[in-house]
Structure 1
């Protein structure tokens, strides 16, 4: 590479780094104290009414309104809810060892494929919050497994089958509302 093209590349790199730094500064200045958390009001904590004993897969009461993903900590179940309030799909999940607090969040990032904190290759990662420094979101193991995580490791992955991971990936884009109920 010639001396002038090296200088040109260095200049472009400096401009790119400055732009990324500026954008990071803007993002941090407008970011909430708890990434992904959108509402801390008591009604948003989605307090749960008694379970529907006749229909245990029924959408939890007080889980919000509009299009959203609802995740029940107690039931280890997810509901994908359309804007009309109709449940598009519901399915069981396997939680990680670190749970999100009940409340309303938004999807903050998505990754097509990566290795999970437990060392398992995962896909369709949909992150909506963090707790104790651990990212929390939905994912599917590439091998299709959903075993209970090692309790000695801090993991925030809420595992679902690959088929359900595909559905979640299509439904839950960036800024999609996620409501966590007890």
Structure 2
């Protein structure tokens, strides 16, 4: 048997195994929404970035009424805010977000992929990347910059990253197992 056939068979087997494990991980128990308090950077931001301000601890924002029911992440394009909602439609906190230049269309989504660490399309090192959509050929995902900063996209750059503070990024990561519902609203 030619070596290319062995490589193809092994690759197909590995992909099948990873798919089975991902489905099993996505069907397991999910933790409830986690209160996290105000987002605070854990490292000094780089000189070219600005530190992302955290949401007000006293500002309890209502979940948008058109966001669905049950356990989900709600992302409001207009308010630039995310809520982690438990099965009883309650939440402990919401987080300010700093969207990239590409925004997802309104509608229902699900967490499709997760990555512990990556480099953002703007070159910034990011963590806790939670992917849920693709638009204009770019992946749309929640993440936080390793240095806690929320840099402005480079002029002319297209980015699908929705940045959050470090604490918010960790809370979203814990909440958003594969398959978790995401509702994008106005």
| Partner in structure 1 of residue 65 of structure 2 | 61
Structure 1 unaligned residues grouped into runs of 5+: 1-6, 27-54
Describe how 1:57-96 pairs up with structure 2 within 5 A: 57-96=61-100
Residue 134 of structure 1 corresponds to: 138
| Structure 1 segments (4+ residues) deviating >4 Å | 9-12
Q: Deviations for 1:87-109, whole angstroms, at most 9, x for unmatched residues?
A: 13201010000000000000000
**Cα distance in 2 between the residues matched to 1:10 and 1:151:** 44
Change (3 A) 1:20 1:181: same
Using the size of structure 2 for normalisation, the TM-score is 0.71
Give per-residue Cα distances to partners, 1:95-135, cap 9 Å, x unaligned: 00000000000000000001000000000000000101000
- TM-score computed with the length of structure 1 as normaliser: 0.73
**Structure with the greater alpha carbon radius of gyration:** 1
User: 1:21-69 CA deviation, whole Å, 9 max, x = no partner?
Assistant: 7x4xx9xxxxxxxxxxxxxxxxxxxxxxxxxxxx772111111000000
**Cα root mean square deviation, aligned:** 2.6
Quick one: higher RCO (CA 8 Å, sep 6+), 1 or 2?
Answer: 2
Alignment partner, residue 11 of structure 2: 17
CA contact (8 A) 2:115 2:128 kept: yes
